[in-house]
Amino acid sequence: MASPAPAPHTLADFALAAEQALDAATWAYFNGGAGDEATLHANAAAWQALPLWPRVLQPLAGGHTRVALAGHELAHPILLAPVAHQRLAHPDGEWASALAAAAQGAGYVLGTQSNVPMEQVAEAVLADPGRGPLWFQLYWQADRGFNRALVQRAEAAGFEAIVLTVDAPVQGVRDRERRAGFALPPGVHAVHLQDAPAVPPADGTYCAGLPAHAPTWDDVAWLRAQTRLPVWLKGLLHPADARAAQALGVAGLIVSNHGGRTLDTAPATAQALPRVRAAAGDALPLVVDGGIRRGTDVLKAIALGANAVMVGRPVAHALAAGGALGVARMLRLLRDELEMAMALTGCRTLAEAGAHLLDPATAAVWEQAGPR
């Protein structure tokens, strides 16, 4: 009798288990990137390349991982990013990952391309007193009326913010996915887009006319006027875009390169984050994603100026490996690693995690200014 597979102890273990559980085409869909996948690999490598400079003999009694994000206190700074078509990984799909996030006090962002209706997800988690924030991610559609209806539906269901993805006016050149021949199987579809109006034709052949319907800064201003919910923008890397977003009064930014799935050779998010923070100043909340696989990565993100982080592919990996319990275990592992990294660097709280952890030359300046 074969012995059971060992329980995953790292996020990499979940990835290995998922690769064994999924067919090759689905694995290529979840794990592939754009082009030569330079940005995909650079994301993780950039976090790993940053050294942590620990301080010793620091007072650690009463330590915790709590953070403030957009006026709310979170048990820890980890959110689950919007990942499309989660029923490819597990029959329970987004319902399972949202339930796991709530059980672990993590924020959850439901994607437009969810396979489970937003109302079912909200009903499953809203009553949990220990849950994190519940947000809805919007992929801009060509019809403003349809966008308005989606946002109003999210409001009515109890979602607490709208996250507009702004870095995908067209799909990236995802060669690995195409080589594998990936296609959605019967029964797996984006339930929120079933009644979306057809994209009207556009003049010219530039990307088949799709960019003509991509959102602009005017659309961001319009969207803010359509909802009482705070609006976040996901997919900014350039400091100039951060300043433009701030001028429009958005609630926060998610520093992201779409997990390396859109523009290949875009900078790693660890490189972009401090530049966006410098451009936006201290007041605007920032979340970062892309290649975060260890608790040390989370700590480095906070030290570089993020208020919180998101993980994306690990959600699909953990779902495929163990459903809701797998996602809950993945989150707990990441939080445990964060706590240990904090203790080993002399950080009692995340407010003490500053640039001095990454560059000891800044320590004197940091100690004079106090924590961010």
Give catalytic residue positions. 258
Instruction: With beta carbons less than 8 A apart as the criterion, state whether 190 and 146 touch.
Output: no
Closest by alpha carbon to 122, among 113, 105, 109, 104? Answer: 109
User: Pairing relation of β-strands 286-288 and 252-255?
Assistant: parallel
- Please tell me the number of Cα atoms within 13 Å of 68 on its side-chain side: 6
Copy the structure tokens of residue 350: 């995340």
Between the alpha carbon of residue 348 and those of residues 70, 149, 255, 361, the distances in Å are: 22, 45, 26, 21
CA 211/CA 225 separation, integer angstroms: 23
Copy the structure tokens of residue 72: 């709310």
Copy the structure tokens of residue 241: 């875009």
CA 16/CA 11 separation, integer angstroms: 9
Query: From the CB of residue 368, how many other CB atoms can be counted at a distance below 10 Å?
Result: 7
CA 121/CA 99 separation, integer angstroms: 8
- Which string of DSSP letters, residue by residue, matches 10-22? SHHHHHHHHHHHS
User: Pairing relation of β-strands 107-110 and 78-80?
Assistant: parallel
Placement of tokens 């399972």 in the chain: 96
Is the Cα dihedral 264, 268, 273, 276 positive or negative?
Answer: negative
Instruction: With beta carbons less than 8 A apart as the criterion, state whether 186 and 262 touch.
Output: no
What are the backbone angles phi and psi of residue 74, rounded to the nearest 5°?
A: -105, 150
